[in-house]
Each structure stands twice: as C-alpha cells, then as structure tokens.
Chain A
Amino acid sequence: MRTVSTLFAGAAFAAASLGVAAPASAATICFAFQDLETEFWVAGHTAITRTLEEAGHTVIERNANEDANRQLEQVRDCIAQGVDGIIIIPQDGESAVTIVNEAQDNDVPIAVFNRPPSDLSKGIIVVADNASIASQAVDFLAQEAIANREGDGKLTPMIIVGDLGDPNAVGRKDGFYAALENYPDDFNTPIEVASEWDAATALANLEAAVTANPEIDLLFTSSDFLFPTIRSVFEPRGMWVPRGEAGHVVMGGLDGDATACQLLKEGFIDSTGVQDLYFEAEAALNAILAAIEAGEAQPNEVIEDPGFALTSANLGEREMDMWGCVLLSEGFLDQ
C-alpha cells in the first residue's frame, strides 16, 4: 500500500508528461492486470489509471491475482458491463491471445500493455524490444567482464531466466545469448537459472546454482525485481561487492526500476536494460482512446518501445531517462 501511494508522485509526474489525447467524450475503460508484484507493474498501473482518471475517463480495475482463468472471467464481466475499451496486462502470452480474441469477438477494442500475446497480429500491442534492450545491457556487461578478467581462462556467465511462457522472458534470454555470441572465445556456456518470475523459486534455484558454480564472472537477471533475491544469495558468500573491489561480480538486469538505479549508483550492478514505461503507457492509452473515438472495434497495431541500456558509463547523461531513477529521485526507496 505504501508502495502504491508513494508511486502516486511518480504517476503525477507521468500524468503530467504523458501526452494523452483529450477525448471527445468520456470513455469507460476496463484495466485488467495480472498482479502488481513488481515496481514496474505498480508504476505502470498507477500511470495508466491516474492518467485516464485525470482525463475524465472512468476506469474499472480488475486484478486477476496471477490466475489466467480469473482474468478471462474478469474481462468477460467487463464486456458485459459495456465498457468502451480494455487495457490488459496479461498473465502470459497464451492467455493474452485468448483474451484479445474474446474482446475482439465482442467488438471491444483492446490494448495489451508490455507483456505481449504469443500472436502479435491482433489487438494493440505495446511491447518493449526486449531482445535488443537485453543485448545492449549484456554487451556492456561482457565488455566489463573481459576488461576485469584475471588470467586467460574463459569467463563463466549466468542468466536468471523468467517464465518462458512470457514472450518478454524469451526476448530477454535471446538478447543475452545474442550479446555473448559476439565474444565466442571469452565465455563458457552460460548457466541458466529458472525463476518463473517468482522470487522464492529464483532464490532456491540461484542458491543451488551458485553452490554448484561458485566462480561466476557475469550475472544477468531477466528482471530487476530479483536484485534483492540475488543479494541475499551473494552477500553471505562474499560475492556482493561494488565495482572496483576484489570479488565484484559483473552484474546487470532489465526493467529500469528504482532499486536497479540505486544499485547502479552504488556500484553493485553495472548495467540495466530500460523499458520506457511512460512511453509505453502513453502509447497504449493514446491508441485505445483513438480506436474508441474512431469507433474501431478491432484495432491491430504493434507499438515497440526501443528502450536503452543504462550503464555505469552513461549513468551521468541518461539517468533521468530511466523511470526508476525518476522515482528514486523522488525518495521512493526512502519511504
């Protein structure tokens, strides 16, 4: 609750900065999300709901609590209530396809925020180019790890993968491998740790992986929300060390949340791939409102967020382009 209220400040910033088109008439929008477990989802939820409400629209919120069947039933309820449009953060890519079809069959325009359906041909899909963003972040990590290498041996990389039923997780994994392919002589086969987007699962699997492979030179987590979990595994083993000190593991993630921003500033991590949350929220809102205004029931469009990598090298220049750093500057982590 504190997190949500704190993020209102960020949302106010977002609402002020989101260039959402003024509607001819107020619309009723159903916003169905799968959960609000991470900073990214909370910030995205807040930006969308506050912006819509401040623009005079009615928002019907539905939290599926990570249950795909419940989300389908909630969206059907929204359709029965006669909403003008739907924005969803789906549980996974497969259920997103079913829900988009359900909405379009009932002539209700639908936008999918950040977690894309397995089939991108239907609905307004706002998605980050996860492979490209991950590749940029990991490329920087690879260069850092090579620069810090002691001796001639190959380095050992590790990736914490997300739930591979989520296309975002697949894109991030692909980007990781694509970046390391540029350095074939420098890295061993990466060690994969499954997280299923669940901190408890990640903790158990990471502990096992680090116990079996204590000599890790590079770690990439598919989501920044797992940094506290990584810290709890690394710190007792003396692996949670800032840049420039002996034992530092070159580390990065993807999302661009406030925790990642702080860790980057403190030197514990070296890069993070940034999704432009406010751009994505604005794009989703503008597209769905435009479709409602035009009376278009089945709008199909893919809007890509190119994103970027915030690294220890460009931190000074691009810090405030990252939504997590904006929240951090507003005292988010001090609350």
Chain B
Amino acid sequence: MTDSGPLPATAEREEPALAPTVGQRAKRIFLSDYFVLYLSLAYFLVLMPFLPTLSNPANLANILSNMWPLLVVAIGQTFVLTIAGIDLSQGSVVGFTSVVGAMLLAATASPDVLSNAPIWGLIIDETGGPLAGVPGGIALAIAAMIAAGGLIGAANGLAIAHFRMPPFMVTLVTMIVISAFAIFLTQSENIRNLPEAYIQLGKGDIVSVYFGEQDESRIPRREIYSFITYPMIIAVTVAIIAHIALSRTVFGRQVFAIGTNRRAAEISGVPVKRVIVLVFTISAVCATIGALLYSTRLEAGRPTLGDGNFLLDVIGATVIGGTSLFGGKGKIIWTVFGVFFFVLLSNTLNLMNLSSFHIDMVKGAVIVAAALLDVLRTRLIRGGI
C-alpha cells in the first residue's frame, strides 16, 4: 500500500498470465458443449482430401437423410440416460409400432403372405387395413402408433419406478417380449402397400436443390439433392421440443436431479416416480416417431425393424454426444452432434469400402472411446485431474 509504483508494473506482468494457455484452451474446447461438433468438423476436413465423395452434395444429403430417424430415437434415449437409466426396448418398439401403423394403413394385403398371421381377417385383409383410404386415417394411425409406443414406455416406467426394478432388466424383458409379439402378429412378414402420403413422411422433399446450369429440359434425378425434407422437419421439431423440455422446464430440472442422486431428489420433493414413468414414456414415443420415419423410408411395416445393431447406433450416438451413462448429464444439442458424428463415421467407413464387420468394430471402439472421454470430462469438471 505504501509503494504504489509497482502496481502498474505488476498489472503489466500479470496480463500475459490472464491469457489462456494452450492447455487451458484445449481443456475449454474439450469441455465445451460443441466439442463433438468440432471433432466432427475436424474429422470431415481431415478425410476430405482422401475421400473426394465425402463433400459431394449427394453424399451430404445422404448423411442428413440417415441422421434424422436415428436422432429422434436417440433423443428419447438421452432422457433415459440422464436419469441414469437405459432403455433397451427402443428397437422392439420401433419394430412393433411400424407394424401397428402399417396394418392399419395398408391399401391391400396378400393372403399368400399374411393369411397365417393372427391379424389376418381381424385387422387386415385383402382390402387392406381399417384406416386405408379413410379421411384423416394417416393421423389416426400415427396416433395409434404413439399410443401403443407410449403404453409400452409407461409400462417400463411403472415397473422401474414403483417396483424399483433395474431399468436394464425391465427394458431387456420388454425388448424380448415386444419383438416376439411383433413377429407373432405378422408371422415375421412385412406389410407393404402403404399409402403414398404416409410414405412421403419418410421420403418426401420440401426443398430440393440443383447446382449448375440447366442445359437440358430434364435435370437428371441424381443431380437433384434433397435439402429440406419431411423427416428433417419432424426430427428438428422433436429436438426443439425435447431441448425446451429438458433445459427450460421444471420437469427437465427434475430429470437432472433424479439422474444426479435419486434419493436426494426424493427428499427434495421431486415426484421421482412420476418423472421416471414420463421419461420412459418419452423414450418409447421417440422410438415410435423413429419407427414412422424408418418404416416409411423402407415403405413397409417390418417387425424386425430395430433388430441387430440398432441399439448400438442409438446408445452409441447418444454417448458420443456426451450424455453420461452415469446420469445427471445430458443435453439434446449434444445428442444432435453425437448423431451427426456417428452417421458421418458410418458414412466415411462405407466410403473407405470397409466391410460391415470392420465398420461395426470401429463403431464399437469409438463408443468405448466416447465412454472413456465421458469419464475424463467428468473428472476434469470435478477437478480430479
């Protein structure tokens, strides 16, 4: 206090110290909400010279097209992971609800294929499903799908919340039962002949783009690229609603509270059981909307839709985004970036002409790396490193 002279000098000396070091910058990027986006962009830029097709507009349109259905399902999983749960039944809900929608809407059905199915004659016959050609039939069928999916999710949530059963076990059993039921309903057959307006929900373009001059009267279809599509509108709408629900509402705070410490949340007056039921219902409804997009892009209700490695993709994309498997940490924007990275990864591995076995091995390794990064980030935030 007696020597005022050194103060400015000290301030001058301290100025460089205030600027973040490279390590601090790296840490800031690593902990940023946009880390996976930066990673995706870096990955894209590094590979671009080696894979010229990567930046081709048709390929970019493919990446976006593959992203939307997966994103919708992954958003549901984000809610579940945030309460420190897991929903293994999403794939079976996708298969089952795709069958529900198709059997209600199919314009015709072949007895050669479906006559042995229990739904034959009861719900669907040669003249199609009960809502085929009915005004507003598509909306009713979608409502029925969402109701069916929502009921499955609510049943999961009730078992987990009220009987304190482990989410892994409950949703595993649901996966087995619902998958088997979907296959039983159609005897493993697919249901085709869906109405065009319904198919458009999974394939329809709203805005398409063409780069270049129009030299000929007809532009080849392969040079017209989908830009804004119905699946994009549906997925982005779901993402915005989910983002608001998770980050701007009391319900969202309750989700984080349960994921951080269920017991503490209960003591604090959070309606834990109700929130858990709601979260699993949201997860199943998201899977149902995913079913809508997947089954319409494939133009059939398929009981086996959502089988195989589908869950690996959903959980993998969510975890890569940064949602913690330990609960209490998750953001919809992270899931958007995680799904983008995951789809980009699959796309680039395809462009490298790797076999499906190698692709799955690489995907698995990336998911493990993402889980390790999650541990690392959590420690960094808590100051453990």
Contacts and interface: CB of A to CB of B under 8 A. Distances in A.
B297 interface: yes
B97 interface: no
The 5 closest A-B pairs by CB, nearest first: A106-B222, A80-B58, A80-B59, A63-B356, A94-B300
A294 B78 CA distance: 51
B356 A118 contact: no
Interface in B72-123: 112-113, 116
Contacts of A95: 298, 300
A73 B58 CA distance: 12
Contacts of B187: 164, 194
Given A67-B310, A165-B189, 13 more contacts: A62-B356, A64-B356, A67-B308, A77-B347, A80-B59, A81-B59, A81-B351, A105-B221, A106-B220, A106-B221, A107-B221, A164-B187, A170-B112
A163 B189 CA distance: 8
A107 B221 CA distance: 7
B294 A69 contact: yes
A170 to B, nearest CB: 6
Interface in A91-113: 92, 94-95, 97-98, 105-108
B350 interface: yes
Contacts of B305: 68-69
Contacts of A165: 113, 188-190
B377 interface: no
Nearest to A97: B299
Contacts of A196: 188
B53 interface: yes
A222 interface: no
A82 interface: yes
A189 B301 CA distance: 31
B263 to A, nearest CB: 41
Interface in B291-332: 294, 297-300, 302, 305, 307-310
Given A69-B305, A94-B299, A170-B112, A61 B59 contact: no
17 contacts: A60-B353, A62-B350, A67-B308, A68-B302, A69-B298, A72-B298, A76-B62, A76-B66, A77-B347, A77-B350, A79-B58, A80-B56, A80-B62, A82-B53, A94-B192, A164-B113, A164-B188
Contacts of B116: 164
B7 to A, nearest CB: 64
Interface of A: 60-70, 72-74, 76-77, 79-82, 92, 94-95, 97-98, 105-108, 118, 163-165, 170, 194, 196
A73 to B, nearest CB: 5
Contacts of B298: 68-69, 72, 94-95, 98
B351 to A, nearest CB: 7
Contact of B353 (A61, A70, A82, A94): A61
A319 B220 CA distance: 49
Given A60-B353, A76-B65, A194-B188, A65 B300 contact: no
A333 to B, nearest CB: 25
A65 B192 CA distance: 22
B355 interface: yes
A163 B188 contact: yes
Contacts of A107: 220-222
Nearest to B69: A69
A292 B192 CA distance: 31
Contacts of B355: 61, 63
A97 B59 CA distance: 22
Contacts of B353: 60-61
A305 B190 CA distance: 26
B117 to A, nearest CB: 10
Q: Is the interface of A mostly helix, strand, loop or mixed?
A: mixed
A105 B58 CA distance: 13
A14 B98 CA distance: 42
Nearest to A78: B350
Contacts of A63: 355-357
Contacts of A97: 192, 299
Interface in B18-64: 53, 56, 58-59, 61-62
B375 to A, nearest CB: 30
A130 to B, nearest CB: 13
Contact of B192 (A61, A68, A108, A118): A118
Given A61-B353, A82-B53, A164-B113, A92 B221 contact: no
Given A62-B350, A63-B355, A97-B299, A77 B59 contact: yes
A133 B333 CA distance: 56
Given A94-B190, A196-B188, A65 B350 contact: no
Contacts of A62: 350, 356
A77 B66 CA distance: 10
B188 A108 contact: no
A130 B36 CA distance: 51
Contacts of B351: 77, 81
A170 B190 CA distance: 13
Nearest to B56: A80
Interface string B326-354: 00000000000000000000110011010
A120 to B, nearest CB: 14
Interface in B174-188: 187-188
Contacts of A66: 308
B299 A98 contact: yes
A91 to B, nearest CB: 9
B188 A73 contact: no
Contact of B189 (A68, A72, A108, A164): A164
B222 A108 contact: yes
A123 to B, nearest CB: 15
A175 to B, nearest CB: 13
B300 A74 contact: no
A92 B220 CA distance: 28
Given A62-B350, A65-B356, A82-B53, A72 B222 contact: no
A69 B307 CA distance: 11
